[in-house]
């Protein structure tokens, strides 16, 4: 029982972190204490102080404000790319798993092909081909994330479609579209929610990797990966520049992972171990 409580508490903690991240991202322009783009050449690399709790960067900009506004970029990239990957993956998985046949073969080989690339390499290659910016980073992340949803949904559909009530609906003359939307889809949504939370963690990590490599959000717009990239050369002089955004990424990714695990435990108590 205590273990169960602990798992629920961890899930709730994850939920709280995610909620905080979303709120900060949404309210960023109003809660940032200073203008994140305002430079001050007289105050370069100032250490943390009361006025600037996380110090100032190499252009004299307030690091806390950049961190807060940077959350917005992570929020935007992860939600748009995971939203897109969920919709496409759901459609592919439903079609593949329900109708089977040659279409299933073609779609699944396509997903296998996407999966055959190391994810970050594929994301880098796509961003490289399309041009390094925020929009293309979102597109690349949704492409590499789609097979995760498609395979999961397909597997779930394969088991659900054999159940008796689906058989009954079919015998009663229900059309395929109705069976899929009324009987199969609701059974898929649970695992989809878990996967969406876990894959959002992946998306935030991937976006920060891309921005760190200079292939994501373009400066001067602040993003956590980009802040780390800019802080890296000043590691010895001003370590706070790299520490703050890294902590932001780690905490947020941890939040989504805990939330995903929490939802899974809640939906399927057998997996509690």
Partner 1 sequence: MRRYILRRLALVGPVFLLVTIGVFSLVHLTPGDPLTAILGEERADPQVMAALRVQMGLDQPPPVQYARWLGRVLQGDLGYSFRMRQPVAQAIVERVPVTAQLAFLAVVISLLVAVPLGALSATRRGSWLDLLSSTMAALGSSMPAFWLGVLLILVVAVQLRWLPPYGYVRPTDDLAGNLKAMILPAITLAAGYTAILSRLVRASLLDVLDEDYIRTARSKGLAEKVVVLHHGLRSALLPVITVIGLETGRLLGGAVVTETIFALPGLGRLAVDAVLSRDFPMLQGVTLFMAAALLLSNLVADLLYGVADPRIHYE
**Binding residues for partner 1 (CB under 8 A):** 3, 109-110, 112-114, 116-122, 124-132, 201, 205, 208-209, 212-215, 225, 228, 232, 235-236, 239, 242-243, 246, 249-251, 253-254, 257-258, 273
Q: Give the pair of three-digit tokens for residue 265.
A: 């435990």
3-state helix, strand and coil shares in percent for the chain, rounded to the nearest 5 = 75, 0, 20
CA-CA distances (angstroms) from residue 187 to 86, 96, 160, 181, 184? 15, 16, 7, 10, 5
Q: Give min distance, CB of 132 to partner 1, in A.
A: 7
Q: Give min distance, CB of 141 to partner 1, in A.
A: 13
Q: What is the dihedral sign for C-alpha 258, 262, 268, 271?
A: positive
Q: How far apart are CA 254 and CA 245, in angstroms?
A: 14
- Identity of the residue, 162 or 236, whose beta carbon is nearer to partner 1 in the bound complex: 236
- Identity of the residue, 29 or 214, whose beta carbon is nearer to partner 1 in the bound complex: 214
Cα–Cα–Cα angle for 153, 156, 159, nearest 5°?
A: 150
- Identity of the residue, 119 or 180, whose beta carbon is nearer to partner 1 in the bound complex: 119
- Identity of the residue, 90 or 253, whose beta carbon is nearer to partner 1 in the bound complex: 253
Q: Give min distance, CB of 160 to partner 1, in A.
A: 19
- Identity of the residue, 128 or 219, whose beta carbon is nearer to partner 1 in the bound complex: 128
Q: Give min distance, CB of 242 to partner 1, in A.
A: 5
Using the structure block, give the residue that is written with the tokens 């902590």.
247
Strand blocks (E) in 9-110: none
């Amino acid at each position: 029982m205590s273990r169960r409580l602990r798992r629920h508490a961890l899930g709730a903690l994850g939920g709280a972190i995610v909620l905080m991240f979303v709120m900060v991202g949404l309210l960023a322009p109003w809660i940032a204490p200073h203008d994140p783009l305002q430079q001050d050449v007289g105050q370069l690399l100032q250490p943390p102080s009361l006025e600037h709790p996380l110090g100032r960067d190499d252009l004299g900009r307030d690091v806390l404000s950049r961190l807060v506004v940077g959350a917005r970029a992570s929020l935007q990239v992860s939600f748009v790319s995971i939203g897109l990957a969920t919709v496409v993956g759901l459609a592919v998985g439903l079609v593949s798993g329900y109708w089977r046949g040659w279409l299933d073969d073609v779609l699944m080989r396509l997903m296998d092909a996407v999966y055959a690339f190391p994810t970050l390499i594929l994301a880098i290659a796509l961003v490289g081909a399309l041009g390094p910016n925020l929009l293309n980073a979102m597109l690349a992340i949704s492409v590499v994330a789609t097979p995760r949803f498609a395979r999961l949904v397909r597997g779930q559909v394969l088991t659900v479609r054999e159940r008796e009530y689906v058989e009954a609906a079919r015998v009663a003359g229900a059309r395929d579209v109705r069976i899929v939307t009324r009987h199969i889809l609701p059974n898929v949504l649970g695992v989809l929610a878990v996967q969406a939370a876990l894959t959002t963690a992946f998306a935030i990590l991937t976006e920060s990797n891309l921005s760190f490599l200079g292939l994501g959000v373009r400066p001067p717009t602040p993003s956590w990966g980009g802040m780390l990239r800019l802080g890296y050369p000043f590691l010895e002089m001003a370590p706070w520049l790299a520490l703050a955004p890294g902590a932001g990424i780690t905490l947020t990714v941890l939040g989504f992972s805990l939330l995903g695990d929490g939802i899974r435990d809640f939906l399927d108590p057998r997996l509690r171990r």
